[in-house]
Chain A
Amino acid sequence: METISGARALMKALEKEGVKEVFGLPGGANLPMYDELYKSNIRHILVRHEQSAAHMADGFGRVSRKPGVCFATSGPGATNIITGLATAQADSSPMVAITGQVPVNMIGRDAFQESDIIGIANPVVKYSFQPRHASEIPTVIKKGFYIAETGRPGAVLIDIPKDVQQNEAQMEFPDEIKIRGYHPWTDPDVIAIEKAITLLLSSSRPVILAGGGVIISGAFAELQSLAEMLMIPVVSTFKGKGAFPETHPLSVGPIGMHGHAEANKIMAEADCVLAIGTRFSDRSVGTFTEFEKHLKIIHLDVDPAEIGKNQTTSVAVVGDVKASLRIFLRLLLQKATKKSEHNVWFDHVTEVKEYWKQNLKLHPGELTAAKILRKLREVLPHQSIVTTEVGQHQMWASLFYDVIHPGTFFSSTGLGTMGWGFPAAIGAKTARPDLPVVDIAGDGSFNMTENSLATSVLDNLPVIVFLVNNYTLGMVAQWQRTFYDRRMIGVDQKHCPDYVKLAESYGAQGIRVGNLDELGNAIKAGLKSDVATVIDIPIDPEEDVLPFVAPGTSLKDMILPS
Chain B
Amino acid sequence: MWAILSILVENKPGILFKVTHLFRSRNFNIDSISVGTTQNPEFSKMTITTIGDEKQIEQIVKQLDKMIDTIEVKRLDEKKTVYRELVLFRVKVSKASDTMEINNIANSFGAKIHDARKDSIMLELTATPDQIENLQELLSKYEILDMAKTGVAALQRGGD
Residues of A at under 8 Å CB distance from B? 118-119, 122-123, 126-127, 147, 179-182, 303-305, 307-309
B62 touches A181 (CB 8 A): no
* Chain A residues, CB < 8 A from B70: 181
State whether A182 touches B59 (Cβ < 8 A).
no
How many residues on B have C-beta within 8 angstroms of the other chain's C-beta atoms? 19
CA distance A58 to B155 in the complex (A): 44
User: In the complex, what distance in Å separates the CA atom of A307 from the CA atom of B59?
Assistant: 9
Majority-rule SS of B interface residues: helix
| A181 and B71 contact, CB distance less than 8 A | yes
Contact with A181, one of B10, B14, B17, B55 (Cβ below 8 angstroms): B10
Total inter-chain residue pairs, C-beta < 8 Å: 36
CB distance from A415 to the nearest CB of B (A): 14
Given contacts A179-B68, A181-B68, contact A308 B18 (CB under 8 A): no
The answer to whether A308 and B59 have CB atoms under 8 Å apart is: yes
Contact of A304 among B17, B21, B65, B68 (CB under 8 A): B65
Given A305-B59, A305-B63, answer yes or no on A119-B68 (Cβ-Cβ < 8 Å). no
Report the nearest A residue to B58, measured CB to CB. Answer: A308
The residue in chain A whose Cβ has the minimal distance to the Cβ of B72 is A181
B67 an interface residue at 8 Å Cβ cutoff?
A: yes
Given contacts A304-B62, A309-B59, contact A181 B21 (CB under 8 A): no
Contact indicator B66/A304 (Cβ below 8 Å) = yes
Q: Which single residue of chain B is at the shortest CB-CB distance from A182? A: B68
Chain B residue at minimum C-beta to C-beta distance from A307: B62
13 sampled A-B residue pairs with Cβ under 8 A: A126-B68, A127-B68, A180-B10, A181-B9, A181-B69, A181-B70, A181-B71, A303-B66, A305-B62, A305-B63, A307-B62, A308-B58, A309-B59
Query: Which residues does chain A contribute within 8 Å of B63, judged by CB atoms?
Result: 305
Listed residue (B18, B66, B67, B70) with the most chain A CB atoms within 10 angstroms of its CB: B66
Chain A residue contacts of B18, Cβ below 8 A: 122
A118 to B21 CA separation, bound complex (whole angstroms): 12
Q: State A180–B67 Cα separation when bound (angstroms).
A: 11
Beta-carbon contacts of B57-86 to A below 8 Å, as 1s and 0s? 011001101111111000000000000000
- Apart from A308-B55, A309-B62, list 19 A-B contacts with CB within 8 A: A118-B14, A119-B17, A122-B17, A122-B18, A122-B21, A127-B68, A179-B68, A180-B10, A181-B9, A181-B69, A181-B70, A181-B71, A303-B66, A304-B65, A304-B66, A305-B59, A305-B62, A305-B65, A309-B59
- A179–B58 Cα distance when bound, in Å, is 24
Report Cα–Cα, A434/B108, bound state, in Å: 82
Kindly state the separation between the CA atoms of A118 and B15 in the bound complex, as whole angstroms. Answer: 12
